[in-house]
Amino acid sequence: MDIWHGLDNIPQSLDASVVTIGVFDGVHRGHRRLIGTAVRRARELDVPCVLMTFEPHPVKVFAPERTPRLLGSLKDRQAMAEELGVDYFLTVDFTRSLAALSPTEYIEQVLVHQLHAKAIVVGENFTFGHKAAGTSQTLETEGPRYGCDVDIVPLLSEDGHTISSTFIRSQLDQGHVDEAAWALGRPYSVYGEVEHGAGRGGRELGYPTANLYISPERALPADGVYAGWFTIDPGETVDGDMEPGVRYPTAISVGMNPTFNDDRRSVESFVLDRHADLYGLYATVEFIGYVRGMETFSGVDELLAAMHRDVDAVRAMTARK
């Protein structure tokens, strides 16, 4: 899969394509169905499939205070697009000038003249152009005028829920990581560098934790303790009894530490039955189950008793996975 940055960097050699468009935050099951439809359509027409996405999130341009927490990085989107068979991944800078294009200008200038779309695949709730005046129905009506087929993919709804990035964020906000995983088609995860924390976990409590630096723009589950998996990035060199690329059971604490008056929200992982120097390494933490909410304890003894119970719960949860 080739990666293009900006409309000006689309190769002139591109003379036909199937295009799918969206933010695709999290690349959840609904997104995967949409992308899969575009890839199959491209194979039918014997042309490349182009996935067009945006940076930053469009809401950030017009209402920064309402910008949603992100479910994944641009690299995450790229990796999953490649896995699904996309040929070209196009990141477009979302600007006010782009948003000012009328629906007709958007179709003509972007989809027809620059991407040479022979077919466009979008979700039924897709909007585009000035003040989001263009819809999937607009594309369906106008596309044939330019020799362009339009496939509208219905939203994916199951068990009374419509799968969307908004739904997933709402589940994370409630600590429902199992529901988030159901909608994503995989456990929710975060990725970052292991940084030095207060050192209290290993020094005072006997539970050394890996403190992952997570961008403040990323969505996190509600404060609490979770069961999950800890995976060191493949290619890292590890000093200890852990191997890169291997998933290890881990107890995860999300939030501040009220017992020690720590007011910084963090993601701390205690990897069960392993000992390694993880500082400076990059790792992924996956959330698979909720253990308990964040609590304030009267002292260290009460905290330690709770941590023992947490580890037992995590051991049981990960053994079932």
CATH of the domain at 305: 2.40.30.30
Please say whether the beta carbons of 87 and 46 come within 8 A. Answer: no
Q: In the chain, how many domains are there?
A: 2
**DSSP class per residue in 21-35:** E---TT--HHHHHHH
Asked if 153 and 173 sit in the same domain, the reply is no
Judge if 12 and 138 occupy the same domain: yes
Asked if 6 and 151 sit in the same domain, the reply is: yes
> Could you say which of 158, 191, 213 is where a domain stops?
158
The predicted structure's pLDDT at residue 296? 81
Q: Are residues 120 and 233 in the same domain?
A: no
- Of 158, 175, 190, which residue sits at a domain end? 158
- Regarding whether 96 and 180 lie in a shared domain, the answer is no
pLDDT mean by block of 10 residues, the chain; 321 residues: 96 97 98 98 98 94 92 97 98 94 97 98 96 95 96 95 97 98 98 76 67 92 97 93 96 75 76 93 98 86 88 94 72
Q: What is the pLDDT of residue 169?
A: 98
Rounded to whole angstroms, the Cα distance separating 141 from 245 reads 48
Beta strand 49-55 with 127-128 is unpaired
Instruction: For tokens 């594309």, name the residue.
Output: 139
**Spatial CA neighbour of 39 closest among 153, 144, 140:** 153
Same domain, 257 and 313: yes
Q: Closest Cα to residue 139, out of 183, 104, 173?
A: 104
> 265 and 304 share a domain?
yes
pLDDT at site 48: 99
pLDDT at residue number 257: 58
DSSP-based three-state secondary structure for 235 = coil
Q: Do 89 and 172 share a domain, yes or no?
A: no
Q: Which of 106, 124, 158 is the last residue of a domain?
A: 158
Note whether 136 and 11 are same-domain residues.
yes
Rounded to a whole number of angstroms, the CA Rg of the chain reads 22
Structure tokens at 135: 């819809």
Taking residue 145's Cβ as centre, other Cβ atoms within 10 Å add up to: 11
User: Omega before 56 cis (within 30°)?
Assistant: yes
Question: Which residues span the domain enclosing 247?
Answer: 164-319
Instruction: Report pLDDT for 196.
Output: 79
Are both 249 and 172 inside the same structural domain?
yes
| Per-residue confidence (pLDDT) for residue 198, from 0 to 100 | 52
Output the DSSP codes for 134-163.
Answer: EEHHHHHHHGGGGT-EEEEEPP-EETTEE-
Distance CA 70, CA 172 (A): 12
Name the nearest CA neighbour of 138 among 150, 147, 130: 150
Residues 141 and 172 in one domain: no
Q: How far apart are CA 9 and CA 30, in angstroms?
A: 29
Same-domain check for residues 95 and 190: no
Q: Tell me, what's the pLDDT at 318?
A: 96
CATH number of the domain within which 75 lies: 3.40.50.620
